[in-house]
Amino acid sequence: MTTADARPASSWHVGLALTSFAAAAIHFAVTGDHFQEGVAFGLFFAALAWAQLLWALGILLAPSRLLLLAGLAGNLAVVVIWSVSRTVGLPLGPGAGTAEPVGVADIAATILELLIVSGTALLLSRRASVETRRVRLSQAVPVALAVMGLTSWAIFAGADHSHVEDAHEHAAAAPPHDHAADAEHADGGHADSGHQAHGHHIVGGSGEPDPAQIDLIRDAMRGYRSIDAATAAGWQQEHRDWPRIGSHFYRGRDWAGAFPTRPGLDIGDPEFLMYSKHLTGEWQLVAVAYVVDQARYGQPPTDLTGAVYHEHAWNCLMDGEELEAEDWGVVSHKACSALGGRWSPGGIWMTHVWLVDNPNGIFAETNPALTAV
């Protein structure tokens, strides 16, 4: 027996439930990544995933007007928070005030949440023709298959995309990605040109810098100690503030697609400025990065004394990072476009010069000191 407020589940309710199940699945899939950003972020996504899962069950088992109102308000709030995080940045957390990049998974989840908001609004307004009879299999199956397909695609693409975003962060989870070469740099060792680390070919010198060159770099970067000065000069943030690597900032004029426009290495004018909040809670210039095109250099240049380079052998780029061959194989132009990436055969040599203390060495790819304060 049902009341006026609690009615049997209709085809609309089933569709809303499936949509909410799908959104919950995406949020469950990315919760682990958000725990790496901070406990508060991880707990928020875990709570959100469970709330969407339980709401879906409630809509199926005991649909009511109050439950519809809760779903509309909750999902609308999530969409608003997502919109703020992708435009002006959230006011809290390690990346406060910085817009986050848009990814496949979060776009899919937001689409699903907007469908829930519009569907619940239609039901609450009574404008929809809501059938209270049992849902026929022929009605439910197409909706279920469509939602399952969207969710599977978003989880797969989002998980792999997260891996690409966190290519540098694997050091936190897997000690071998501390780079044997980086550890050797800290001891004054030499990087073996045959060393392989997660698809990065490490090539270069002794890791021993020329103090005069480092002083020149520090002097050239004095004007960029303030991130406001850097952004005013046209530097743009490429990705979020990663542990162990910070955030790369670039100027559009320095790049033609995936490759640097300048023919050589200019010690006083790097291709990237690297800022991080991990040491002080405020943006700090922690390093610079130099990049040269392998089409011009079969081996890295020797302009920067002792510099050790890592190779980015790109074939498909997503948010400035390559889909590494050891995980993806060789990605064709067509497959790259289908993934939403940018196809760019060839590669670059890249080295960092750390302006803050780095136990791994001044030219190392990562810095273990960059962990959240």
Phi, psi of 22 (to 5 degrees): -65, -45
Checking if the pLDDT of 328 tops 50, the result is: yes
| CA 270 – CA 259 distance, rounded (Å) | 14
* pLDDT of the residue at 172: 29
| CA 250 – CA 272 distance, rounded (Å) | 5
Q: Per-domain residue ranges for the chain?
A: 11-165, 174-354
* pLDDT of the residue at 14: 83
User: Average pLDDT of 350-370?
Assistant: 92
Copy the structure tokens of residue 291: 């990049």
Sequence-distant (6+) residues with CB within 8 A of 139 are 11, 14
* pLDDT of the residue at 159: 42
Give 88-128 pLDDT, tens digit per residue: 877 876 556 666 767 777 888 889 899 999 989 988 886 44
* pLDDT of the residue at 274: 96
User: Average pLDDT of 311-318?
Assistant: 72
Counting every residue written for the chain, the total comes to: 373
Give 230-281 pLDDT, tens digit per residue: 999 999 998 888 899 899 999 988 887 667 888 888 999 999 999 999 988 8
Q: pTM for this structure? A: 0.47
Give 209-231 pLDDT, tens digit per residue: 999 999 999 999 999 999 999 99
Copy the structure tokens of residue 249: 């900032």
**Mean pLDDT for all residues in the chain:** 74
| CA 360 – CA 351 distance, rounded (Å) | 13
Beta bridge pairs of residue 242: 246
- Reduce the DSSP state of residue 260 to 3 states and report it: strand
